[in-house]
Structure formats: structure tokens, C-alpha cells
Amino acid sequence: MSEVTARKPRPKYLALNEIRLPLPGIVSILHRISGVGIFLMLPFLLYLLDRSLGSPETFETFAAVVDNWFIKLVLFGLLWAYLHHFCAGIRFLLLDLHKGLELEEARKSSKIVLIVSLTLTLIIGVVLW
């Protein structure tokens, strides 16, 4: 590379503990984290569906497994992951359609995503618990 085109070293600032993520950034990273969570738990969820649909006997196994408080807590977390992924996904689809691209709107919609997914998680979670 000639001296004329040689670039200056690009500044990097990747101190993760010091970066303050704006609200849309938080929604975005939670979208990724919730997706990974669901992906990792897919075998467990398929196992639960398998037991619940096998026969009346395996349904009892299913009922006993999901009656455990720890499993309930895990499923509660997954319910949030699904609902957050769902709500944030709708927001991303709207952004793809160039809806809500302005900074203020984008901040507002990410706030709505966080609040709606948490509220729905609480309501559905309490109903199912």
C-alpha cells in the first residue's frame, strides 16, 4: 500500500461495560438474545409437545414436568423471549417498510415493544401458572 492511500488506524471503542446502548439498541440485542434462547431450548420444547400429544399417559408426564417450579420459571422466561421476539420482530418489519425511522418514533416504538412484551408475559404467564 502506498503512503498516500495508507489509512490512519481507525478508532475503536468497544469497552462493552462502558458503552451505553440506546433503547432501540437494547431492543435489538434482546431480539438476538431471545432468539438464541428459543433456539437452544427447541429440543426441550419439542420434547414437551411430544409428551403432551403422545397419549393420555405421556400427557401426565408432560403435566408433571411443567408443574415443577423451576421448569415453570424457565418456561416463563421462554414466554418472554417469544413475546419480545414477536413484538420486536413486528417493529423490525415496520422499519423495513420505512415506518418509524425517525429518531423520536424509533425510540418510542422500542419503548412500546419493551412494555407490551413484558405486560403480555405477565398476563399470559399468570393465567397459565
Partner 1 sequence: MVKQRTVVGAHYGLKDWIAQRATAVYMAAYTIIFALCAFSLRELNYQEWSGLFSHGLFKFLSFLFFLSVFYHAWIGIRDLWMDYIKPNGVRLALHLVTIFVLVGYAGWAAQILWRL
Residues 6+ apart with CB under 8 A from 114: 23, 26, 27, 84
CB of 44 to partner 1, least distance (A): 11
Of the two residues 3 and 67, which places its CB atom closer to partner 1 in the complex? 67
CB of 42 to partner 1, least distance (A): 6
Q: Using CA atoms, how far apart are residues 103 and 120, in angstroms rounded to an integer? A: 26
Gyration radius of the chain over CA positions: 21
CB of 91 to partner 1, least distance (A): 11
Of the two residues 39 and 105, which places its CB atom closer to partner 1 in the complex? 39
Of the two residues 74 and 86, which places its CB atom closer to partner 1 in the complex? 86
Residue with cell 413475546: 83
Q: Please name the amino acid found at residue 47.
A: Y
CB of 104 to partner 1, least distance (A): 25
Interacting residues with partner 1 (CB under 8 A): 32, 35-36, 38-39, 42-43, 46, 49-50, 52-56, 59, 86, 89-90, 93, 96
Known binding-site residue numbers for heme: 85
Q: Is 68 helix (H, G, I), strand (E, B) or coil?
A: coil
C-alpha dihedral over 98, 102, 104, 107, to 10 degrees?
50
